[in-house]
Structure 1
Amino acid sequence: MANRVHTSDETSPGLVSTGQVACGTMSRRPVGSSHRTHQDTASPEASRPAPTGFEKSPSAACGPRCPPSSSQRSSVSIEVELDGTLVDRQTAVRDALTALCLAHDFDTVTEQWLRAELVDRANPDNFVRLREVFGLAVSAAQLWREYVDLMAAAVTCRPEVLKGLARLRAAAWTIGIVTNGASDVQRAKIAVTGLARLVDGVAVSGDLEIRKPDQRLYELAASRCGRSLIEGGWMIGDNPAGDVGGGHQAGLRTIWLRGRHWPDELAAPNHVVDDVTDAITILLNETE
Structure 2
Amino acid sequence: MRDTLLWSPRTVLCVQLLALFDLDDTLVSRRDSLRSWGRDFTAARGLPASAADVVVDALDERARPNDFAGLRVTLGLRDSVESLWDTYVAGMAQRAHCREGVHEGLRSMKAHGWTIGIATNGAPNIQHAKVAGAGRSKKRWGGACRPIRRDASSAVQFNSEAKALQG
Partner residue of 1:152 out of 93, 118, 139: 93
Using the size of structure 2 for normalisation, the TM-score is 0.78
Is 1:97 aligned with 2:31? no
Alignment of 1:74-153 (within 5 A): 75-153=16-94
Whole-angstrom distance in 2 between the partners of 1:203 and 1:221: 10
Q: Are 2:65 and 2:81, in contact at CA under 8 Å, matched by a contact in 1?
A: yes
Shift of 1:118: 1.1
User: Which residue of 2 is the match for residue 218 of structure 1?
Assistant: 152
User: Which residue of 1 is the match for residue 105 of structure 2?
Assistant: 164
Is 1:178 aligned with 2:122? no
Question: Larger relative CO (CA 8 A, sep 6+): 1 or 2?
Answer: 1
Deviation per residue, 1:81-116 (Å, 9 max, x gap) = 111111111111111111111111123453332111
Whole-angstrom distance in 1 between the partners of 2:107 and 2:75: 46
**Percent identical:** 30
Describe the shift of the 1:109–1:95 C-alpha distance in structure 2 as closer, same or farther (beyond 3 A).
closer
Equivalent position SS for 1:224? helix
Equivalent position SS for 1:225? helix
Describe the shift of the 1:200–1:218 C-alpha distance in structure 2 as closer, same or farther (beyond 3 A).
farther
User: Which residue of 2 is the match for residue 20 of structure 1?
Assistant: none
Q: Are 2:131 and 2:146, in contact at CA under 8 Å, matched by a contact in 1?
A: no
Equivalent position SS for 1:157? coil
Describe the shift of the 1:158–1:135 C-alpha distance in structure 2 as closer, same or farther (beyond 3 A).
closer
Alignment of 1:36-47 (within 5 A): none
Q: Are 1:178 and 1:218, in contact at CA under 8 Å, matched by a contact in 2?
A: no
Partner residue of 2:144 out of 173, 176, 200: 200
User: Which residue of 2 is the match for residue 244 of structure 1?
Assistant: none
Whole-angstrom distance in 1 between the partners of 2:5 and 2:60: 38
Equivalent position SS for 1:84? coil
Deviation per residue, 1:6-61 (Å, 9 max, x gap) = xxxxxxxxxxxxxxxxxxxxxxxxxxxxxxxxxxxxxxxxxxxxxxxxxxxxxxxx
Gaps of 5+ in 2: 8-13, 162-167
Whole-angstrom distance in 2 between the partners of 1:145 and 1:224: 27
Q: Are 1:74 and 1:172, in contact at CA under 8 Å, matched by a contact in 2?
A: no
Q: Are 2:148 and 2:158, in contact at CA under 8 Å, matched by a contact in 1?
A: no
Equivalent position SS for 2:23? coil
Whole-angstrom distance in 1 between the partners of 2:114 and 2:129: 24
Deviation per residue, 1:115-171 (Å, 9 max, x gap) = 111111111111111113343211111111111111111121135110110011111
Equivalent position SS for 1:166? helix
Query: How many pairs does the alignment contain?
Result: 151
Deviation per residue, 1:169-201 (Å, 9 max, x gap) = 111111111111111111111112122222534
Shift of 1:78: 1.2
Q: Are 2:95 and 2:133, in contact at CA under 8 Å, matched by a contact in 1?
A: no
Whole-angstrom distance in 1 between the partners of 2:46 and 2:59: 18
Task: Kindly indicate which of the two structures has a greater share of residues assigned to helix.
Answer: 2
Q: Are 1:131 and 1:137, in contact at CA under 8 Å, matched by a contact in 2?
A: yes
Using the size of structure 1 for normalisation, the TM-score is 0.47
Shift of 1:74: 6.3
Deviation per residue, 1:224-270 (Å, 9 max, x gap) = 2217xxxxxxxxxxxxxxxxxxxxxxxxxxxxxxxxxxxxxxxxxxx
